[in-house]
Structure 1
């Protein structure tokens, strides 16, 4: 059921849990959104707003063997994937966040990466990344610097409002990351194969 207008208003400032593997389990890619929108906070599911292209891009790029619904987010650790956010507070628009919230989120993200040690950290939103980490010149794609133990990749914001990144182009950038992440081993030394799940 779609959230009502009242549901969305009630979700303002709500937090939603990260999607992460158990401690010690391999993590190929940790995706970080900017912060939850009200629709995601109302449902408790990341990238849940209709029109967000995250889940289609994840499937079309080959990260998942079928299109997952946001309500199936807890299947992601089985693919060696996880989701977090730079800032945990839900807002109607990302520009409601303060620079300090993003910088504090960057410190929180650093601790999360140290704990779960993904092969790649993929930040979905170059503008937020620039603010959170003081990297005004950062561009979409792989970065020369690492993020603690993780390689770093900046992805476009998958919001449907990001008109410069249409679905095909967005999926192609996700696929570049998938190919790179498939070529590395997790810190446990085990390559991670995606499970086959039924439709």
Structure 2
């Protein structure tokens, strides 16, 4: 497994190699995730339980095991690699849309799954209110794109497991 060295002050390293099934894309790591060095590490975050519940992973993984998911065809990145905090706290100048697109074109995953409307809106260049959950219209020369409801505990009121189930079905991993 080959990770890119963290030479730019990134809070968490990308987990990206060519041929992944899906890359999960957040806005930026939470302060907790940055502090412990693991994706989706806040105890109130539903990410890891949801992956297992919908069948994307065969067992419940812990945040510190995130790098092991590369063996399941699962990768990770964020739109703002050098920031951490809640979505509304991230300085828009830290979003790296071009870097993100280059990495996705280099790695060519089957799907890109945004774990928040904010991350998707940064990439799409549209307000979050104009984005629907689920599979997005196909873009030429880019992997399939899904927008998932945020697993963050701070977004509980907007929680909807259906987009996650839709992704699991697309990946052929849905629990029956």
TM-score by length of 1: 0.75
* Correspondence for 1:28: 21
Q: CA deviation at 1:87?
A: 0.6
Q: CA deviation at 1:180?
A: 1.0
* Correspondence for 1:64: 57
* Correspondence for 2:118: 127
Which consecutive aligned stretches of 4+ in structure 1 deviate over 4 angstroms post-superposition? none
| 2:32 counterpart (23, 27, 39) | 39
Count of aligned residue pairs for this structure pair: 163
* Correspondence for 1:118: 109
* Correspondence for 2:11: 15
Instruction: Spell out the pairing of 1:1-12 with structure 2 (5 A cutoff).
Output: none
**Residue 88 (1) aligns with residue 78 (2):** no
Measured at CA, do residues 90 and 49 of structure 1 come closer, stay the same or move farther in structure 2, by a change above 3 Å? farther
Q: CA deviation at 1:178?
A: 1.2
Of 82-91 and 110-119, deviating more is 82-91
Unaligned runs of 5+ in 1: 1-12, 184-199
Q: CA deviation at 1:165?
A: 3.7
Measured at CA, do residues 148 and 98 of structure 1 come closer, stay the same or move farther in structure 2, by a change above 3 Å? farther
Native 8 Å contact 2:11 2:84 kept in 1: no
* Correspondence for 2:97: 106
CA deviation profile, 1:39-75 (whole Å, cap 9, x unmatched) = 1111110000111111111110101111000111111
* Correspondence for 1:162: 155
CA deviation profile, 1:112-163 (whole Å, cap 9, x unmatched) = 1011100101111113322343123221111113274301111111101112
Taking only aligned residues, the RMSD between alpha carbons, in angstroms, comes to 1.9
Native 8 Å contact 1:36 1:89 kept in 2: no
Unaligned runs of 5+ in 2: 1-8
TM-score by length of 2: 0.84
